[in-house]
Amino acid sequence: MIQLAAAALLEEDGQIEDAASLYFYAADWGGLVRLVQQHARSLINQGRGHTLAEWLGNIPTDIMAQNPWLCYWLGICRMTHDLGVSRESLEQAFARFKELKDSAGLFLSWSGIIDTYVYEWSAFRPLDRWITEIEGLLQEYPVFPTREIEARVTSGMFCALMYRQPHHQDLPRWEERAKRIVLTTNDIHLRMAISSHLIFYYTWWSGDQAKAATLVNALRPAAQASEIDPLSLIVWRAIEAAYHWMAGHNEDCLDAVDKGLHLAETTGVHLWDFMLSAQASFGTLTAGDLESAKPYLQTMAAITGTNRHVDIAHYHYHLAWEALCRRDLALAREYAQTAYTVVSETGTPFIHAFLAMGVAEVLIELGEFGGAVHYLDEAREMGENMNSKTVAYQHAWLSSLLCLEQGDEAGAREHLRRHLAVSREYGILNHSWWRSSVMARLYAKALEAGIEVDHVQRLIGKRKVMAA
């Protein structure tokens, strides 16, 4: 009794970790469970998931099994270190919430499950099931229990559609809902989490750099807030780096990466080390600095032998680019084909399209034009289905290069005109597998033909390209 009285006083005084210890030693599981439910979200937001996990680990398994909220919080706090355990706990919670018809629990556990797939970057085909699940839940429970739950479901549905079903007719609606929440909510953690995915979508998927810039500028002050949890801030640094890179600001890109990797090192949250290193590889290879790219590629190599299949494909895509820059076409072909083969099994249409264009570029350099056309056609069809301007941009300059190699000057000009129009209209100033020698050749053709002259001159100046 004395321990319980002391625990209650400590809890009242805000000394919740000491209170939790006393509840544990007194075997007062009800007190410890109540402490978990009251403080779990704030602990996660403070980056203290390890504390929450310790509390949950002390609760007997039979009590854990009876309370789906405990399974939910175990899934959430494990997300930064073990996505498999996290997803298993969240799926158990979801099944129990379904039996209890607990809409709040259903929506939150569903959102957490989606997060595990997004952070894992491995296989996205299972999202088909979860997209169907949420569509049914929204019919059964058309009103969200809270605004926070609405925001988390919105973020989850937007990400699920972006990665797995970018052609879905409802994606624009969920995008608008997500953007509205980012610009109106006072919850800084939700703003950071949702905006990171939106900016990634605008910079890569849709190719609308103006929308990306609006969010980046709106969110920069929030990124300085001390209460942001480490994972959210690390993800933000990766997305910020992607935005800077697409805008042609390679130095700012690398600065954001360095901040993200430093934070990962100091907090021990290494879930996005690969993504940060990949973005640095984009920045250094785009600049033609193969030597500076080496340490980032070495960091990325740790992904081999894991189950993160999209990352494995991504890694080989970068290796192919680096080999292409060195004119090792045989090795570039091997790496590009490996990347394409691996990503084909993951169910990510956008990434699939880009890796197909990587194979096409190598085949153009090898003079295997028929094969290049096959991969370009596949990418074009995918891009059109998802209305991706970045795919259209990449496809157009590659098609122009292909025409030039085949001696089709008229075709080259037609594709070049389309490429530069997309670049100007949507502010796309950079691209993967950038090689200044290739772009100098294309820009020279554009100037010679009077195509988008002002924009081409701006690109030449910004990217420091010497038009051939």
Question: Mind listing the pLDDT tens digit for each residue in 378-400?
Answer: 999 999 999 999 999 999 999 99
Residue 15 has pLDDT above 70, yes or no: no
Across 434-456, b (16+ Cβ under 10 Å) vs e yields bbeebbbbbbbbbeeeebbeebb
Radius of gyration of the chain (CA): 24
Q: At 367, which amino acid appears?
A: G
Number of Cβ atoms within 10 Å of the Cβ of 135 = 11
Q: How many CA atoms lie within 13 A of 228 on its CB side?
A: 22
Domain residues for the domain of 330 are: 304-468
Angstrom CA distances, 176 to 114, 173, 184, 210, 216, stand at 19, 5, 12, 15, 16
Task: Round the average pLDDT of the chain to a whole number and report it.
Answer: 90
User: Is 14 a domain residue?
Assistant: no
The domain that contains 463 carries what CATH number? 1.25.40.10
Token pair in block for residue 340: 């394409």
Are 331 and 323 spatial neighbours (Cβ–Cβ below 8 Å)?
Answer: yes
Q: What is the pLDDT of residues 321-334, one digit of tens each?
A: 999 999 999 999 99
User: Is 363 a domain residue?
Assistant: yes
Instruction: Give CA–CA dist 353/338, Å, rounded.
Output: 14
User: Is 182 a domain residue?
Assistant: no
User: Is 315 a domain residue?
Assistant: yes
230 confidence band (pLDDT: 50, 70, 90): confident
Are 209 and 244 spatial neighbours (Cβ–Cβ below 8 Å)?
Answer: no
Are 465 and 459 spatial neighbours (Cβ–Cβ below 8 Å)?
Answer: yes
User: Is 339 a domain residue?
Assistant: yes
Domain count, the chain: 1
Are 93 and 134 spatial neighbours (Cβ–Cβ below 8 Å)?
Answer: no
User: Is 32 a domain residue?
Assistant: no
Instruction: Give CA–CA dist 105/37, Å, rounded.
Output: 12
Angstrom CA distances, 419 to 262, 357, 416, stand at 37, 15, 5
pLDDT at residue 338, rounded to an integer: 98
User: Is 452 a domain residue?
Assistant: yes
User: Is 228 a domain residue?
Assistant: no
Give the global pTM. Answer: 0.87
Query: Which of 103-112, 216-225, 362-371, 425-434 shows the lowest mean pLDDT across its residues?
Result: 216-225
